[in-house]
């Protein structure tokens, strides 16, 4: 773990943080759509329902072909590394835990400077006394079949049954023509389960 983080930080001296034009990417990964953009010395996503450390990451390298950012510690000695390949473009997100196996998510991106028209719901407050964000709030444009599966996933995760909870989330893959709100909530639920479980039992 320490060697991975040190390797990331060693790259910092070669960083070129000055970027005159706004850099942004709309990406599609296994966990759902994600948008990332460079804001000064941080790589920022507009995904909601996540701990702040997972939405604003300090950039350790920003070159002509790569952006690399590493989060601060969150939710019990966990860190997130985000890599964007500007040439393809493509995204890789790696979650590292001192006591858990690494988790990764990846996908392809489209460079874009305009924010998507459909925004995700507002963030949900963190659960009292816990270092992870609460489950996503359901909105009106979520169909009953999606709502039911995500509610079941939330209930299972709340009881500590993380693998069955993730199975319920994956069952939404069979539902066609999901709306932007549905895709956003599915992605949030995946992140909620991973953050709450610490990645344990999800491999």
How many separate domains does the chain show?
2
- The residue among 80, 111, 142 that closes a domain is 111
Expressed as residue numbers, the domain containing 190 is: 118-203
For residue 155, give the DSSP letter. Answer: H
pLDDT of the residue at 91: 93
- The residue among 111, 144, 177 that closes a domain is 111
Backbone angles phi, psi at 109, to 5 degrees: -130, 165
Q: How confident is the model at residue 82 (pLDDT cuts 50, 70, 90)?
A: very high
More confident: 72 or 133: 72
Rounded to the nearest integer, the mean pLDDT of the chain is 75
Inform me whether the pLDDT recorded for 47 exceeds 80.
no
* H-state helical runs in 98-179: 144-158, 162-170
Inform me whether the pLDDT recorded for 113 exceeds 60.
no
Q: How confident is the model at residue 108 (pLDDT cuts 50, 70, 90)?
A: very high
Phi-psi region of 115 (alpha: psi -120 to 50; beta: other; left: phi over 0): beta
Inform me whether the pLDDT recorded for 16 exceeds 50.
no
pLDDT of the residue at 50: 63
Inform me whether the pLDDT recorded for 35 exceeds 80.
yes
pLDDT of the residue at 114: 45
Phi-psi region of 129 (alpha: psi -120 to 50; beta: other; left: phi over 0): left
70 and 126 both lie in a single domain: no
């Amino acid at each position: 773990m320490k060697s991975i983080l040190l390797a990331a930080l060693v790259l910092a001296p070669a960083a070129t943080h000055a970027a005159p034009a706004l850099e942004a990417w709309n990406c599609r990964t296994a966990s759902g759509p994600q948008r990332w953009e460079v804001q000064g010395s941080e790589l920022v996503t507009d995904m909601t329902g996540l701990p702040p450390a997972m939405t604003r990451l300090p950039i350790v390298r920003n070159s002509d072909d790569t952006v690399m950012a590493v989060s601060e510690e969150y939710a019990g000695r966990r860190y997130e590394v985000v890599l964007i390949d500007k040439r393809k473009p493509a995204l890789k997100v790696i979650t590292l835990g001192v006591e858990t196996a690494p988790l990764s998510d990846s996908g392809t991106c489209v460079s874009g400077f305009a924010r998507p028209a459909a925004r995700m719901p507002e963030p949900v407050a963190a659960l009292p006394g816990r270092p992870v964000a609460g489950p996503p709030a359901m909105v009106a444009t979520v169909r009953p079949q999606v709502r039911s599966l995500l509610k079941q996933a939330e209930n299972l995760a709340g009881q500590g049954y993380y693998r069955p909870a993730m199975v319920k989330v994956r069952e939404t893959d069979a539902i066609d023509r999901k709306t932007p709100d549905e895709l956003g909530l599915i992605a949030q639920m995946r992140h909620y389960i991973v953050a709450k479980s610490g990645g344990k039992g999800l491999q």
